[in-house]
Amino acid sequence: MDQRKSRILFLCTGNSARSQMAEGLLRHHADDRFEAYSAGLDPKCVNPLAVSAMAEIGIDISGQRSKSLSEYLGRMHFSYVITLCANAERSCPAVFPGMGRRLHWDLEDPSAVTGTESERLEAFRRVRDELARRIMRFIPEGAGGPEGGGLR
């Protein structure tokens, strides 16, 4: 690892959509400054609609895999752990060995949206676009490490 890069962990319940898209967005926009990771409390497969929504903006997350938070606990230091849902915020260990700063961005779960495939894909687009906005605000602040921005 490049010691100048901050490690960021995006955490949600299933590690199938929100955290996967966040990981891909941060890698795409600031791979030179951050190492992006994602995990879930109860990991599921990466949602194909998340892959499709990201492909629409030229970011390929098809090679990413769902991971459990336990893969990282006590094994890696993160400058930031960013929870992306209320369940992850509630359930994330209060004492996470190797955690710098914890942020919470509560976003809807696009995987929970029902309806036509078009309606479901639109939910993934909304979440993707909101994640992109937050990540673009986070990048200049977060590059300084745990003492940098607490953007919500």
Positions marked catalytic: 12, 85, 92
Count of alpha carbons within 13 angstroms of residue 16, beta-carbon side: 14
Compute the C-alpha angle 108/115/83, nearest 5°: 15
**Rounded Cα gap, residues 98 and 46, in angstroms:** 26
Q: Which run of H or E residues covers position 73?
A: none
Q: Considering only CA atoms, which of 91, 78, 83, 137 is closest in space to residue 107? A: 83
Could you give the CA distance from residue 134 to residue 104 in angstroms, rounded to a whole number? Answer: 11
CA–CA separation, 22 vs 16, rounded Å? 11
